[in-house]
Homo-oligomer: A and B are copies of this chain.
Amino acid sequence: MTHSADPGRIAPLMGRLWAPLASVTTRWQDKTNAQIAVSIAAASIVPARPRIVIQIYKGNYSHQLIQKSLVFAVNFLRQDQLHLVKAFGFVSGRHQDKLAGVARRTGASGSPILTECWGYLDCRVVNAMDGGDMTCFLAEVLEGDVLDQGEPLWWRNARRMLPPAWAEEWEQKLAGEMAASLQRMGDINYSA
């Protein structure tokens, strides 16, 4: 099979396959963390049994925690919460508590739920799939709510709102993550 997907040609299409920006929080034992994710899809046609599929990159500290605890919460950001993209998405939680000073409560899963967000889903993992550079978790929703009337914050809008210094910092971080992904994404423990 040939590979001829031109990244520029399919960018408008791939861009429509990302979810609104979310802070993914988790807890394992006494450790909590928050990271930013946009690879989230609905995964149930039964409204009374909501499920989602989420991808977490192996290089992230949250990946270690979620693999052990098998719980997480997805807290979608409001339009006025761009600062959380920087607070949660630009640094690792390995050596600092990113949730310090952030208003939160503990959800049914044990994960931190941000009391200020567009809406949240508190989740328990029911299956997982190796993606090479990331793990794809299938999870059932234990509880959730929408707290805001407006639209959540979408990355395609947020990236245009980033201050230039943040944008530059983001591009540098992303370049490193892309290099790591490129090395790992072929290394799949295949179970199809």
Contact = CB atoms under 8 A, between A and B. Distances in A.
Interface of A: 1-7, 9-20, 38-53, 55, 57, 67, 70, 76, 108-109, 119, 121, 124-134, 136-138, 140-146, 152, 174, 177-178, 181-182, 185, 188-192
Contacts of A49: 181-182, 185
Given A16-B20, A127-B130, A185-B51, A46 B138 contact: no
A138 to B, nearest CB: 6
Contacts of A138: 129, 131, 136, 188
**Residue among A45, A137, A188 having the largest count of chain B Cβ atoms under 10 Å:** A45
A188 B124 contact: no
Given A2-B143, A129-B129, A19 B41 contact: yes
